[in-house]
Every structure is written in structure tokens, then in C-alpha cells.
Amino acid sequence: MSRVKNIPVSSNGIKIANPIYDTVFKYLMENKRVARFFIETLIGERVTEIAVVPQEYVYKRVIRKEKGNAKKNDSNTFEFFSIIRYDFVATICTDSGEHKKVLIEIQKSRKYTELARFRKYLGEEYKRVDVVNTKTGEVEKSLPIICIYLLGFKLLKHDTPALKVGRIYWNLIKNKKMSGRDKFVEALTHDGYFVQIPRIKGKPRNLLEKMLSVFEQKDFIDEKEIVKNYGHLVDNEIIREILDILRNVAADPEEMKAIEAEWLAIKDDEGYDQALKTIEEQGNTIVAQGNTIAALQNEKAEQGNIIAALAKELAELKQKVEEK
């Protein structure tokens, strides 16, 4: 993808691919300048060095355009690769001038139900070690972790598009905040940054809002929400580069096919989830009906027991009468 210094904006805006799709988002994260800008703008600290960790999580799906007996190599079949997670090793320069090396994990999720996957990957990150001496490999150390989550849904109690959940050191004896960081503690705890994509809206005012405005979900030109018009003022070089990447993706027919394949996969997943939900609801209805039937049967059995007891009592009274 080429870099440009200026992007002409028509009255309808710039046509760009929707970066919420994994197929599109990977082009942004594979660009080191863009990845560094994205991370340091979000966390508010300067990133001096950055490298993609090669063990990024990738999964492959085969999606068919049409139902039938299409084989894997048929023209009606797409091979769809989805980048779920990106990991970076970055050197951050803090406000105090300290340089620290951290592991940054970026994950995207469309559904609230993927919490278990987040926890699983985070556990894997704590197993990672950083080889300090790459020639001998003798020295290893655990890296502090920073987690960035791009959410395709809204958190219930926080209406901000960007949220940071940080750590503080607190002296429990003196009941006050402590300064300084400990390497041991840093390796066992982490900061979290949450971007709520559905809450990104309105005119961007600062650099963070301008960067996040690229992910704003509106002004689509197609029903699948794959391509949209970006109409905000662009006055930052790297945001121009981001838009240039997204514009080139939107103009590439092969890339558009890949995005459409991802869209089909999402629809398949949504259909599968809806089917499971329907089955679960039907199962709950059947269980409720079964409980009602069981309750009626128990009630009937109790009434039968009462009738039997009355019949026995009546028989005993009859016998006494006959004896007299």
C-alpha cells in the first residue's frame, strides 16, 4: 500500500474498507508505522521500538458462496483467513524518561460471549518470555503485558469510546498511593485498554478521537457494511496513511471477495448462534412443559392416594355396619 501526503475528500467522503473486519484490520497492523501510531495514541505513551511477535493467532475457514456440492478448489469456494489477535513487543518511553520493554496484545471481538477466549489468550501471554541476548539465548525475562481490546459491542456501564483500566500501587498500612514500579509485580499484573467501536461517533476533537473515527460504523454504501464513506477532516499524516490503506483495500476486487467471505462467515456464525439459542429456548420450553406435566401427575397421584384412603375408610365403615 502506498503512502500519500494528501487525500482528496469529495462531498461524499473517501470510500474506505471497514476496518472492523479482520481481513481489513490486518493490513493496518502489518504496517509498523500505523501499528506504532495506533498503540501509542491509545495508551498515551511514546513507543520507540516495535516488532510483531511471530506467534500471532490465525485460524482458517472455508466458506462457500452457494449451497451445493462445491469442492474446496471450486470457484464458488473461498479460503478465509482470520487474524484474531496481534502481539507486539514494544519499547515504551515513560514520562519519567524510563525505557521499558512490554508485550502488547491486541484482540478484536464482535460478541460479548468471547470472554473465555480473551482469558485463554491472556493466560498464554503470561507464559511468554523475552530472550534478552538473541545470540546466546542465555538470559530470559518475563515481560509486562498491555492488553488492547477492540469491542464490537457496548459495555453496559461505561459510555466512553475508549476506556483504560490501570493499576496503582497502594500502601494498605498507611492507606495511600505509592510511587515506583516493581519488576516482579509488573510481570504479574497488566493494564487494559478497551475501545467500544459502537460508541465511536460525532465530530473528532483530539488525536485519539481522530484515529478512532476511522472505525466509526456509519455512512455505509452497501448493505453488508463492507465499504463506507469517511467524511471527517484529515490533518494527520499517519491517519492519511491509514485511510490510504483502507481506500486501496476497498478498490481491490480480490480483497473485496475476501471481506465478503468473512462477512459470510460472520453470518454463518450468527445463524449458528441463533440456531443454538432457538434450540436452547425450545429445550427450556420442553423442560418447563415436562415439569408442568410432572406436577400434574404428582397432583393426580396425590388425589388418587386420597381417593384410595377414602375408599379404604368407607370399606372399613361398611364392614363395621355389617358386623353390627
All three cell numbers of 235, joined, read 490533518
- Does the structure show a pLDDT above 80 at 214? yes
Query: pLDDT-derived band of residue 317, with 50, 70 and 90 as boundaries?
Result: confident
This prediction has a pTM of 0.68
Q: Per-residue pLDDT tens for 112-133?
A: 666 666 777 677 777 666 655 4
pLDDT given at position 322: 76
What are the beta bridge partners of residue 14? 230
pLDDT given at position 10: 44
Q: Per-residue pLDDT tens for 264-311?
A: 877 765 554 555 556 666 677 777 777 888 888 888 888 888 887 887
| Helix runs in the chain, H state only | 22-29, 32-43, 115-125, 183-186, 207-212, 237-250, 253-323
- Does the structure show a pLDDT above 60 at 207? yes
Percent of the chain with pLDDT over 90: 22
Q: Per-residue pLDDT tens for 129-142?
A: 665 544 555 555 67
User: Lowest mean pLDDT: which of 23-27, 45-49, 196-200, 261-265?
Assistant: 261-265
- Does the structure show a pLDDT above 60 at 75? no
Do residues 211 and 39 make contact, with C-beta atoms less than 8 angstroms apart? no
CA dihedral angle for residue 130, residue 140, residue 181, residue 157, rounded to 10 degrees: 40
Q: Per-residue pLDDT tens for 159-170?
A: 899 999 888 888
Residue type, 127: K
- Does the structure show a pLDDT above 80 at 224? yes
Which among 1, 26, 41, 19 has a CA at the least distance from the CA of 244?
Answer: 1
Where residue 179 falls (left for φ over 0; alpha for ψ -120 to 50; beta otherwise) is: beta
Whole-angstrom Cα distance, residue 95 to residue 182? 17
State the first-to-last Cα distance of the chain, in angstroms, to the nearest integer: 112
- Does the structure show a pLDDT above 70 at 67? no
Whole-angstrom Cα distance, residue 126 to residue 142? 8
Helix axes 237-250, 253-323, angle to 10 degrees: 80
Over residues 232-239, the mean pLDDT reads: 91
CA dihedral angle for residue 235, residue 236, residue 239, residue 244, rounded to 10 degrees: 70
- Does the structure show a pLDDT above 80 at 76? no
Whole-angstrom Cα distance, residue 13 to residue 230? 5
Which among 279, 219, 157 has a CA at the least distance from the CA of 16?
Answer: 219
All three cell numbers of 171, joined, read 500502601
